[in-house]
Amino acid sequence: MTAIAKQALAAGLVLCAGAQMAQAHPHIFVDAQLEVLFDANGAPQALRIFWTYDPFFSMLLVSDMGLDPDFSGTVTPDEQPLLDGFDMNWIPDYHGDTHVMQNGQSLPLSGPVEWTSDYVDGQLQSSHLREFQELPDPTTEWTVSIHDPSYYTSYTITDMPQITGRDDCSARIFEPDWDAAGAQLDAALDEVLASGGDIEAEFPPVGALFSEEVRIICAQPS
């Protein structure tokens, strides 16, 4: 998340909810969509990731940017360019909350390219492309998850992933074990409190526990 986004959210939490809510996680809710792109040879090429931010966060960030002063839920054509890349100002080594795994190994992705930005019906929307720097073997199952390890942001995959460039691949969404994730979070928070720690500053990295997983596999070559 960009620095301006965190500042806007922090200000809103203080003004609208006080200290108690500021200790709750997650703070931001994002609907996500995923497109898996294959090249002309049938090899995995890139992922396109779509994010739609919750109305409260969108309102705070747009207001902080000085846009939509009449709260119409849209921006004017003159304001539209100011949204360009509003969430693409990533710090070095930021993983972009998109994680690709195969055979227990993390597969690296490029930084974001070909991004888009919009503000529709009071919600910020964006998309970006990330190319594979190490190609997964498409005939062996590999996974994509969109999650923030710190659980500051909660992502929900709202539609079945789209596969472009091949018609012999499948993508299935698997939900986490919500009860087990909640129990592990409670135990981790109890440990922080027992040691006298600050929950907000020392929030455990549990985002993966609450993450949906997309499992992708393609047909074996004949």
Q: Which residues of 119-144 are buried (b: 16+ CB within 10 A; e: fewer)?
A: beebbbbbbbbbbbeeebebeebbbb
User: Measured between alpha carbons, how far is 55 from 52 in angstroms, rounded to an integer?
Assistant: 9
Number of Cβ within a 10 Å radius of residue 11: 13
**Residue corresponding to tokens 């409190």:** 193
In degrees, rounded to 5, the angle at the alpha carbon of residue 96 between the alpha carbons of residues 182 and 4 is 95
Q: Which contiguous run of DSSP H or E holds residue 182?
A: helix 178-194
pLDDT values of the chain reduced to their tens digit, one per residue, 222 residues: 444 444 444 444 433 433 343 346 899 999 999 999 999 999 999 999 999 999 999 999 999 999 988 889 999 999 999 999 999 999 888 999 999 999 999 999 999 999 999 999 999 999 999 999 999 999 999 999 999 999 999 999 999 999 999 999 999 999 999 999 999 999 988 898 888 888 878 888 899 999 999 999 999 876
Q: Is residue 173 within 8 Å of residue 179, measured between CB atoms?
A: no
